């Protein structure tokens, strides 16, 4: 009987020791992973060193700009600025300027000491993070350069859900700029350079065929997109900001009135090296080309040459991305030579 009591006591003692050891180890692991057990208010967020950044804010044309399969202009910029500047692709398929403003708090870094809120809170809550709203350092590094590349979806005509009335589009573009330029903005960053990019043209025949095959309702036309492209230029001029007129550049190339075909000669050696790595043909094609490439800028007669630059009448082909890449780099070097990656 005495031996049984001794064994029972030993087991209880061992059990208590195991529980205590487990609690100590759990507390240790928790602090190793999440830091101090104190309240979030006393937690000091680490500030990580970062490269300078280029922020590309746009719709699916920007999002798909990271695809190497189509020589995406973002992927080309990443190669060009390797070891010099990080290229942040913040392109969101289906977005217009109104939706962009709703998401701006999660795209543009805050320059105040307050932690992020909104979507990051709900995201952290769903992931079970212990400190909601503390997902980033309080003060983030502001981008050296920001692209504002919207209009392709805004130009859809009503009642398409992507449609944004022209007057609202003008207002939204100004508001996007004010987020970086207004001293009252939480994202105030007076040193961030801003570059507008117009939407490309729409290949009407291509888009009609695409919507027919997908069962979608045709929701855009090139002449309407032109109006929104002009609005981008209007706002850029009004605010004294540079812009890339992608709509006109591609139209000029298709119809043989190109004002951009000579720009490759103006680019510095490093840019030319990137350009030489892709099948770039900005000039008129030779007679040795396939006979169905009958338009001035390449492409088939069936689609009026738009298929050389647009995949389904909307998104950029490899050649379309090459054109945009060269125009963007030329505009960067013309306005901000200090950003020359050479």
Q: What is the pLDDT of residue 324?
A: 98
Q: Report the chain's terminal Cα–Cα distance, integer Å.
A: 88
Q: What is the pLDDT of residue 67?
A: 96
Q: Which of 91, 71, 79, 146 lies closest to 320 in space, CA to CA? A: 71
Q: Return the SS3 of 339.
A: helix
DSSP conformational letter for 301: T
Half-sphere exposure in the Cβ direction for 294 (13 Å, CA)? 7
Q: Where are the beta strands (DSSP E) in the chain?
A: 52-58, 85-91, 145-149, 193-197, 243-244
Q: Which of the residues in the chain have pLDDT under 70?
A: 1-12, 14-50, 112-140, 258-300
Kindly list the distances between the CA atom of residue 209 and the CA atoms of 141, 181, 203, 285, 315, in Å, as whole numbers in the listed order.
45, 42, 10, 26, 14
The edge-to-edge listing of strands for the beta sheet with 52-58 is 85-91, 52-58, 145-149, 193-197, 243-244
Pairing of strands 85-91, 52-58: parallel
Long-range CB contacts (within 8 A, 24+) of 262-265: 263/326, 263/327, 263/330, 264/326
Q: Which domains does the chain have, with CATH numbers?
A: 47-339 (3.40.50.1110)
Asked if residues 299 and 293 have their Cβ atoms less than 8 Å apart, the reply is yes
Q: How far apart are CA 59 and CA 91, in angstroms?
A: 5
Q: How far apart are CA 88 and CA 107, in angstroms?
A: 10
Half-sphere exposure in the Cβ direction for 205 (13 Å, CA)? 8
Asked if residues 132 and 60 have their Cβ atoms less than 8 Å apart, the reply is no
Q: What is the pLDDT of residue 113?
A: 42
């Amino acid at each position: 009987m005495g031996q049984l009591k001794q064994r029972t006591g030993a087991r209880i003692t061992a059990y208590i020791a195991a529980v205590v050891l487990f609690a100590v180890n759990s507390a240790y692991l928790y602090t190793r992973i999440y830091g101090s057990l104190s309240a979030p208010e006393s937690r000091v967020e680490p500030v990580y060193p970062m490269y300078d950044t280029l922020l590309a804010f746009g719709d699916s044309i920007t999002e798909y700009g990271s695809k190497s399969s189509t020589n995406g202009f973002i992927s080309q910029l990443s190669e060009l600025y390797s070891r010099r500047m990080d290229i942040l692709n913040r392109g969101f398929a289906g977005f217009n300027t109104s939706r962009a403003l709703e998401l701006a708090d999660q795209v543009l870094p805050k320059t105040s000491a307050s932690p992020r809120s909104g979507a990051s809170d709900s995201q952290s809550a769903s992931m079970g993070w212990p400190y909601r709203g503390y997902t980033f350092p309080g003060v983030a590094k502001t981008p050296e350069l920001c692209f504002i590349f919207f209009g392709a979806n805004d130009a859809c005509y009503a009642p398409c859900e992507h449609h944004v009335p022209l007057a609202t589009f003008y207002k939204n573009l100004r508001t996007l700029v004010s987020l970086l330029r207004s001293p009252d903005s939480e994202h105030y960053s007076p040193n961030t350079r801003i570059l507008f990019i117009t939407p490309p043209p729409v290949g009407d025949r291509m888009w009609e065929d695409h919507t027919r095959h997908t069962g979608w309702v045709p929701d855009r036309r090139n002449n309407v997109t032109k109006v929104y492209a002009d609005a981008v230029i209007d706002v850029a001029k009004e605010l004294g900001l540079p812009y890339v007129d992608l709509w006109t550049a591609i139209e000029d190339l298709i119809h043989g009135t190109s004002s951009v075909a000579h720009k490759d000669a103006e680019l510095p050696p490093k840019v030319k090296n990137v350009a030489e790595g892709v099948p770039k043909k900005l000039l008129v094609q030779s007679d040795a080309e396939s006979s169905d490439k009958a338009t001035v800028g390449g492409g088939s007669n069936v689609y009026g040459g738009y298929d050389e630059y647009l995949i389904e009448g909307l998104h950029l082909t490899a050649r379309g991305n090459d054109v945009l890449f060269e125009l963007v780099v030329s505009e960067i070097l013309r306005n901000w030579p200090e950003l020359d990656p050479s």
